[in-house]
Amino acid sequence: MVDENVLFITGQATYIDDLDVPILAGAAHAVFVRSTAAHARIRVDLDSARGAPGVLVAIAAADNPILPTLAYSPDHPLRFAQPLLAEHKVRYVGEPVAVVVAATRAQAVDAAELVVIDYDELTPVLSTHDALFSDVRLFDLPDQARLGAHSGIADTETTNVIRTHVDDGLGQRFEPAVFENADVVIEHEFRNPRQLAAPIECRGATATWTDDGHLHVWVSTQTPHSYRSRIAPMYDLALSSIHVIAGPFVGGGFGGKGAPGPEEQLIPYLARLVERPVRWVESRTENLMSAPHGRAEDIHLWLAGTSDGDLQAVKVQMHKDAGAYASSGAGLPNRWTAPMLAGTYSISHTEFEQITHVTNRPPVAALRGAGRGPVIAALERAVDMFASEIGMDPAELRRRNLLTAADMPYASPTGALYDDADYAEALERVLVLADYTALRATQAVRRATPTELQIGIGIASYNHRTCGGGGESALVRINADGSATVVTGTTSQGQGHEATWRKIASGELGIAPERITVIEGNTDEISTGVGAIGSRSVQTAGLAIHEASADVVSQAATLAAQMLEAAEADVVLDRQAGTFHVVGTPSRSLGWADLAIEMQARDEQLSCDHVYENGGKDVYPSGCHVAVVQVDAETGEWKLIQYAAVDDAGVRVNDQIVQDQLRGGIALGAAQVMGEEALFDDAGNPLTTSFLDYQIASIDQFCQIDLEAQVVPSSFNAGGYKAVGESGPIGATPAVHNAVLDAIAHLGVRHIDIPCTPQKVWQAINSA
């Protein structure tokens, strides 16, 4: 079996656009026609497109009977759900208005150019401030095809607010006096701009129907089982009639492929309509223009404490821009942001309020570190501002306020329960790794000579909630030749699951990793699954595989005892040899193949289908990062010159994969400071629709990233596992941000919102 990394590196991995499956022979191609206005009433003329060469069908909303049956969350009224094709009006540039299906992709592209859309443009709502105070409403009830259908907030109310949520912790009351009477209060509004997932593989889906009425869909998704559950009521199908495969490989997700878009949900209808398979693959321009965005928060934060450095209270008021329709991003603040308000600190009082709005921009989904990253970034920036206010080194301020190992498990005032960790040790270790004392000395020398390139040192201490509750499924079975197959409900988009799952199963079964086949992302292979979201895979699927493997070993021991005519308690598994024998007599043994053949003769199989549930005990990986940047105060140009990180991912199944995840995540987090931002003009037109405009970070912008492992096993699960997928960006964004501002703090610059482009840095220096 070829390792998945070899397939990636050599270009042998196959994606949605590479599918070569017999039942997809003669597939047609779909191309979506997208809005060029941010907010407008529309009329659509398809006549010319329908008469174009090769066109099988061209439809708009009036021709489409497939309606969403729920918004992303039951907490969101159904009228905020996105129609699969725009109904009556469009609400962001790039929204699907019509779709053309033709025999070839080229014919579909040509025909799509013939679709005529008349726009009666309306004033766009482009910010959370506009959403709250403008008289413009995105959702006019008479325009809604789904009047009266709702879940949660009544649909009789016209508003741009999806959800308002107030959380004052565990029964705490809001106490203004806590902030009014504090020695020091840092108050600031932090803007967290839109960022794009920018996966290597853009979105795509291919669907076909078989004669027995079954639907087969291949989709580039992180959550195939969730996709199946979402479309089942839309097409009035039982789950068993829908077969979904994620991939066969998925080229990156990062949260942007966690919730299906309207396109993926409509492709099955198009296949039914033309009575042949239909393929859709998004272009890069489409992806950058209309795929789900991440981030998009305005965070008003208050941090209160004493003049000698005791942090006492934190309050956040968050305005979340959900974009035009409620997707996964709309549900992030209350569930993922609120629990993280106090971060790694012993802050006794917390207050949280959030308002989620709709605006005339693309919907917001999750993005690596979703919900947690923004509030940790704001808190870590505020900690540096607090240190500056009282004249204390930012490392010392953290040292005085970090929770200790003796505090764990720790019940945060936000209601979060942190598992085992040692935040203080991570701080001390990273300061040594970065040689912090020498860096400060170098900085002092540079500051004494204003013409020198200045350096800035940024620190960020973080933890974050992962998983979000629930569990994951796994199936382990022994094949007739003594090899094993592992099937999980999770999916991989490049995280190295295959090697990790093999190692876990091999350690329990005593079967060599190369003799273990891993299957993921296939709803016909395993009935339930959550997928790869929320840094949950190892702590759920990993444990499910471990427990299923242990059960298979138990079954095998029972069978071996029968075959060896021994007491079951006397039979052991020699994991080095992969054989069962009676204690003390290893010469008489049975291998996995012997047992599998015996089970086959009995018309049975050695296997276990197991679902691991975490019982609400989510784990909190943590760490501390130090970033060093060099800034040219004359031009504002800066670059990352040193990076050190100490991260606790719990017990590491595969250390190389953990390091790879950290480095990739750090690059994503740093890129948000360097320049990654989805930009729009005053009319709501996107300005970053190619990699010439959207400043995705490149390898030459990074220095060596020095990593050290901190391993504090979690007591919340049997494996001691935590997580790692989102740790990198959560630590990196505030570390790099603090470093840039530390480099120019002596010039009078207090704050710059990210991204800290050279132009913004130069302007801030000159304004100061």
pLDDT in tens, 668-677: 999 999 999 9
CA angle 160, 166, 169 (to 5 degrees): 160
Q: Six-digit token pair at 622?
A: 């943590």
What is the CATH code of the structural domain delimited by 20-124+126-158+203-290? 3.90.1170.50
Residues in the chain: 768
CA contacts within 13 A on the Cβ side of 558: 7
Nearest to 263 by CA among 106, 101, 148: 101
Q: Is the pLDDT of residue 151 over 70?
A: no
The distance between the two most distant Cα atoms of the chain, rounded to a whole number of Å, is 87
- Say what the pLDDT of residue 84 is: 97
Nearest to 314 by CA among 356, 373, 372, 376: 376
Q: Mean pLDDT, to the nearest integer, of 274-301?
A: 97
Quick one: DSSP state of residue 411? Answer: E
- Say what the pLDDT of residue 287 is: 97
Q: pLDDT-based confidence at 5, cuts 50/70/90?
A: confident
Q: Mean pLDDT, to the nearest integer, of 586-600?
A: 95
Phi-psi category of residue 163: left, alpha or beta, with phi > 0 → left and psi -120 to 50 → alpha: beta
CB neighbours (10 Å) of residue 212? 6
SS3 605: coil
Q: What is the pLDDT of residues 634-675, one digit of tens each?
A: 999 999 999 999 999 999 999 999 999 999 999 999 999 999
- Say what the pLDDT of residue 152 is: 40
The amino acid occupying position 661 is Q
Distance, in Å, from the CA atom of 217 to the CA atom of 330, rounded to the nearest integer, reads 27
Residue with token string 């019509």: 98
Residue with token string 């670059």: 639
Render the burial of 66-89: b for 16+ CB within 10 Å, e for the rest: bebbebbbebbbbbbbbbbbbbeb
Q: Mean pLDDT, to the nearest integer, of 379-392?
A: 98
Q: Mean pLDDT, to the nearest integer, of 245-262?
A: 95
Distance, in Å, from the CA atom of 167 to the CA atom of 228, rounded to the nearest integer, reads 33
Distance, in Å, from the CA atom of 675 to the CA atom of 657, rounded to the nearest integer, reads 27
**Two domains, one topology: 20-124+126-158+203-290 and 417-466+619-768:** no
SS3 757: coil
Count the helix, strand and coil residues of the chain and give each as a percent rounded to the nearest 5.
Answer: 35, 25, 40
CA angle 72, 289, 683 (to 5 degrees): 100
Average pLDDT of the chain to the nearest whole number: 94
Distances 750 to 238, 315, 452 between C-alpha atoms, Å: 58, 20, 20
Distances 241 to 29, 220, 374, 527 between C-alpha atoms, Å: 24, 20, 40, 12
- Say what the pLDDT of residue 334 is: 80
- Say what the pLDDT of residue 264 is: 97
**Which listed CATH number (3.50.50.60, 3.40.50.10300, 3.30.365.10, 3.60.110.10) goes with 471-613?**
3.30.365.10
- Say what the pLDDT of residue 156 is: 54
Q: Is the pLDDT of residue 147 over 70?
A: no
Q: What is the pLDDT of residues 404-456, one digit of tens each?
A: 999 999 999 999 999 999 999 999 999 999 999 999 999 999 999 888 899 99
Distances 593 to 505, 507, 556, 573, 581 between C-alpha atoms, Å: 16, 18, 11, 14, 14
Q: Is the pLDDT of residue 144 over 60?
A: no
- Say what the pLDDT of residue 74 is: 77
Q: What is the pLDDT of residues 609-623, one digit of tens each?
A: 999 999 999 999 999
Q: Is the pLDDT of residue 173 over 80?
A: no
The per-type count for the chain, helices as H runs and strands as E runs, is 20, 28
Q: Mean pLDDT, to the nearest integer, of 384-409?
A: 98
Q: Six-digit token pair at 425?
A: 């040790």
Sheet holding 516-520, edge to edge: 516-520, 484-488, 471-478, 607-613
Q: Is the pLDDT of residue 41 over 60?
A: yes
Q: Are 483 and 472 in contact (CB under 8 A)?
A: no
Q: Is the pLDDT of residue 161 over 50?
A: yes
Q: pLDDT-based confidence at 157, cuts 50/70/90?
A: low
Q: Six-digit token pair at 624?
A: 């501390």
Distance, in Å, from the CA atom of 61 to the CA atom of 67, rounded to the nearest integer, reads 10
Q: What is the pLDDT of residues 683-726, one digit of tens each?
A: 999 999 999 999 999 999 999 999 999 999 999 999 999 999 99
Query: Domain ranges in the chain?
Result: 20-124+126-158+203-290, 160-195+294-403, 417-466+619-768, 471-613
Give me the CATH topology for the region 417-466+619-768: Aldehyde Oxidoreductase; domain 4 (3.30.365)
Q: Are 410 and 346 in contact (CB under 8 A)?
A: no
Radius of gyration of the chain (CA): 27
SS3 195: strand
% of the chain with per-residue pLDDT over 70:
97
Q: Are strands 471-478 and 484-488 parallel, antiparallel or unpaired?
A: antiparallel
Q: Are 549 and 518 in contact (CB under 8 A)?
A: no
Q: Six-digit token pair at 125?
A: 């709502």
SS3 250: coil
Q: What is the pLDDT of residues 312-342, one digit of tens each?
A: 999 999 999 999 999 999 988 888 999 999 9
Q: Are 474 and 489 in contact (CB under 8 A)?
A: yes
Q: What is the pLDDT of residues 573-582, one digit of tens each?
A: 999 999 999 9
Q: Which of 137-146, 148-157, 757-766 has the lowest mean pLDDT?
A: 148-157
Distance, in Å, from the CA atom of 625 to the CA atom of 85, rounded to the nearest integer, reads 45
Does domain 160-195+294-403 fall under CATH 3.30.365.10? My reply is yes
Cis peptide before 409 (omega within 30 of 0): yes
- Say what the pLDDT of residue 591 is: 97
Distance, in Å, from the CA atom of 539 to the CA atom of 174, rounded to the nearest integer, reads 35
Q: pLDDT-based confidence at 389, cuts 50/70/90?
A: very high
Q: Where are the alpha helices (DSSP H) in 121-189?
A: 128-133, 176-180
- Say what the pLDDT of residue 141 is: 55
The amino acid occupying position 67 is L
- Say what the pLDDT of residue 172 is: 59
- Strand extents, DSSP E, 247-360: 278-281, 293-305, 311-321, 349-357
Distance, in Å, from the CA atom of 247 to the CA atom of 332, rounded to the nearest integer, reads 26
- Say what the pLDDT of residue 169 is: 54
| Most confident among 103-107, 141-145, 527-531 (mean pLDDT) | 103-107
Q: Is the pLDDT of residue 69 over 90?
A: no
- Say what the pLDDT of residue 135 is: 92
Q: Is the pLDDT of residue 154 over 50?
A: no
- Say what the pLDDT of residue 167 is: 64
Terminal alpha carbon distance of the chain: 61
Q: Are 77 and 144 in contact (CB under 8 A)?
A: no
Q: Are 241 and 213 in contact (CB under 8 A)?
A: yes
Q: What is the pLDDT of residues 454-481, one digit of tens each?
A: 999 999 999 999 999 889 999 999 999 9
Quick one: DSSP state of residue 680? Answer: B
Distance, in Å, from the CA atom of 397 to the CA atom of 386, rounded to the nearest integer, reads 9
CB neighbours (10 Å) of residue 535? 29
Distance, in Å, from the CA atom of 193 to the CA atom of 679, rounded to the nearest integer, reads 9
Q: Mean pLDDT, to the nearest integer, of 30-38?
A: 98
Q: Is the pLDDT of residue 536 over 70?
A: yes
Distance, in Å, from the CA atom of 411 to the CA atom of 631, rounded to the nearest integer, reads 41
Distance, in Å, from the CA atom of 223 to the CA atom of 492, rounded to the nearest integer, reads 10
The dihedrals phi and psi of 357, each to the nearest 5 degrees, come to -115, 160
